[in-house]
Amino acid sequence: MTYQLYIGDRTFSSWSLRGWLMLEKFGLDYNTNLVGLYAGTYREELAHLAPARTVPAMQTPEGYVLTDSLAMGETLVERHPDIDLYPRDGAARALARTITHEMHSGFMALRDACPNMITHVWEGFKPSDAVLSDLARIEELWALARSRHGQNGPWLFGEYSLADVFYAPVALRITAYDLPVSADAQNYVNAHLSDPAFLAWREASKSETYEPWPYPMDLGRKPWPGDVS
């Protein structure tokens, strides 16, 4: 049972990362297909997957096409009830689904001000009040999940779940823009930064180069955590 996953550039595409993590982290069989998101060729490369117009996109072994990361995740939950993509406990499962869906539909200030990228850390970025408000809500959700259900591991619900898949790029944005968060939230961010799956994703991204840089900022650059300056 092999899924076909279509993703864009690893350096920038946060939604592609989510699509990849939900297959990679739960041991599902898949093939990765790269499309030219920043080269502008992705629509032609996705044409055979109508109605797909964005990444990630996923084709099931039967040929069904999913064109949204949340649709992909919920479909995998249905198709693999033996795998704990969400926690099994009813209360934890309800909260995990709730905060996953809130991530999918919200936090637009953070997304708009802090485009996802995983090459370096911007030095001197000043978050707006709207970004700080998004961060406060994110920390509230993380703390609630961790306090109620996260005592048996480093992830939001102890064991890795779809909630962690969806908040992984948030952790990366916090890192890339050196955003202010509490010590507890930083510990959760660090779990993502040291996760072997993310490290493999970032290693693969190093072959991608861009001239000019798609998201220029008049700021200094610091090395990504763990990189040698």
Please tell me whether the peptide bond between 212 and the residue prior to it is cis, using omega within 30 degrees of 0.
yes
Give the CATH number for residue 122. Answer: 1.20.1050.10
User: What mean pLDDT is predicted for residues 73-98?
Assistant: 98
Does some domain include residue 39? yes
Cβ atoms within 10 A of the Cβ of 204, count? 14
Q: Which residue, 24, 53, 79, sits at the end of a domain?
A: 79
Q: Give the range of the structural domain holding residue 144, as residue numbers without chain letter.
A: 90-201
Q: Are 55 and 14 in contact (CB under 8 A)?
A: no
| Residue 212 placed within a domain | no
Of the pLDDT bands very low, low, confident and very high (cuts 50, 70, 90), residue 229 is low
Angle, CA 168 vertex, CA 44 and CA 148 arms, to 5°: 140
pLDDT digits (tens, 9 = 90+) for 122-175: 999 999 999 999 999 999 999 999 999 999 999 999 999 999 999 999 999 999
Handedness of CA 28, 24, 108, 54 (dihedral sign): negative
What's the whole-number average pLDDT of the chain? 96
Claim to verify: residue 33 and residue 113 sit in the same structural domain? no
Task: Find out whether 102 and 178 touch, Cβ atoms under 8 Å.
Answer: no
Are 53 and 11 contacting, i.e. CB atoms less than 8 angstroms apart?
Answer: no
In angstroms, rounded to a whole number, what is the distance separating the alpha carbons of residues 225 and 197? 16
pLDDT given for residue 197 in this prediction: 98
Chain centre distance of CA 22:
9
For residue 211, is it within any domain?
no
Burial of 137 (0-12, 13-18, 19+ CB in 10 A): middle
Q: Could you tell me if 97 and 56 lie in one domain?
A: no
Same domain, 13 and 46: yes
The answer to whether position 225 is within a domain reads no
pLDDT at 91 over 90: yes
pLDDT of res. 207: 92
105 shares a domain with 71: no
Q: What is the pTM of this model?
A: 0.96
- The answer to whether the peptide bond before residue 56 is cis (omega within 30 degrees of 0) is yes
With cut-offs at 50, 70 and 90, classify the pLDDT of residue 213. Answer: confident
Residues 162 and 71 both lie in one domain: no
The answer to whether residue 222 is domain-embedded is no
Torsion of CA 84, 85, 89, 93, to 10 degrees: -170
Q: Is the pLDDT assigned to residue 1 strictly greater than 90?
A: no
Within a domain: 209: no
99-118 residue pLDDT tens: 999 999 999 999 999 999 99
pLDDT: is 159 or 209 the higher one? 159
Mean pLDDT of 80-108: 98
Among 77, 107, 78, 109, which residue's Cα sits nearest to residue 167? Answer: 107
What pLDDT is attached to residue 157?
Answer: 98
